[in-house]
Chains A and B, each alone.
Chain A
């Protein structure tokens, strides 16, 4: 490179005007990054402050869950978003991690529930149709606990009753679940007032526990004495009293249901506390049975077939059901080599209450000492248990208590528990016995008859007949002509009598005329009496001539 040539001197160039240098230590341009930093910092702080809690929800499957897409909604308002969906370590479930909005923080507590909202049909209702287009989302039901929690297990089914719905939850114990399911309605007087929230098998496997929710204001009708029963489908019962069909309505036929009712006598009780436990009865009849707390157990030992008798069969006293059969057993007495059927039954003494009598004549038979005396006295009067047929079509039996004054005397052994009640064979059995006796007698007669010497008798009879024949012949020959003559005479006399009595006979004519005269006389007498009544003076003055 050549040395840079010096430029030509340019003397005619004007001198630039010197400007005093401004000595600002901080240039204005630095305001820009400061502003940017302030805005950025404010944004960052705001984001951090607004950041809500991050939670994890464990689901069985990730169906409908999408990281960055699936929202968490409370009452259809977005409160968060699923950030990631991963497997759990044991590969048995999926874990969705979600960011929630700041406002949700206080509500993410112990009993907050999460579930995936998908279109579903259950309990006769269709829900979540919107998710068909908009995609699934996670629903939240806010809990009431104060304890915070960040890891949740998602529900497979949405909770039937959101936490904030007013009402009360109750617990029912049932023998079987039947056709019930979560979401199945609960009826009160055929009105849908609640739903089954959940059900679970008892730990010992001996029953099912159901949780039901009764919406306010209907929950006030549940008190500690309320009876719940399974109102699913059609309940057809065939018992000693005939056929009964019970149903709670079309919905319960289709999807099942629970109904409850409080007996009128219990209606005054205060409403039941939440989570009160109740028994779920099999049907209405059983549920509404009067629940007596006072009862006495008895046993009646029958020596006949009890086919048609079942536990629950009524114990009848003069047509009133005063108890029920609780158990039927068998018994063998090796000493007597005898089989018998002890039937255990229960009598509710409160049902035999003298309502209108007071004092010594009224009251109840519940005191044990009194009861002994009472039952012995009754037995002495002939109180016996008897099997009777309640329904001839089905052959259902019931136990009847009735008085048989002719029954042999029995002393009740009160040391035995339950108290034994003497029995008497059933009417049918007695009839059978009678028929048997009758048949025996007939057989005896027949055999007696066979002993009769019919051959001799026949000979005697024949001889008798012969002599009789002779007598007849003589009669025919000797008596008949005379008899004929006598008859002819009789006829003649009858004929003459007939002539005397005939209409044209002079006696008849005379008699008739006499009667007529008599009638006229009577008429004249009546005219006279009449006249005298009107003109009593005629007796003195004589009859006045009619004025012309």
Chain B
């Protein structure tokens, strides 16, 4: 168990480093102009700082002026969007104003089948993730997850709340996210089915405060 955890920590470290390198399509820093900060990629900033709490369709349907976008981005930053500094806020607000301004075209809502809508929240059988190892899950969570999701899994600067959520009963979905990463969340490809199951069994014991 201890060696497995060590491997995971190594994997996580590698993953974190990997996530720091610019993604495909990002604007590369200009060479040897050290006084000039590297250009930002606003689309990536939106993905990494907005869509862990809400999907990007909520953004794409807005038709707001630059002043309104600045106000929205500032409000979201105050609510916990982990944009690093004012430069990032300004870049995101300007990009959103250019893309989703008052004169942008109509936004169409997709028609989603009623069964698919219900299935998106429904519990799935645990299958290979079935576990009763609450203590083991607690240990793994403390080692791998609390840095971002908080000691009680209630969410923190980077990670979202994981207490009392429908996704805790959708182990296959959780496993996919954990192993491939999401936004700023690094992938944990080495986590086994029973380990993910143990983490879920621990998270299911947590209750939010009244």
A binds B: no
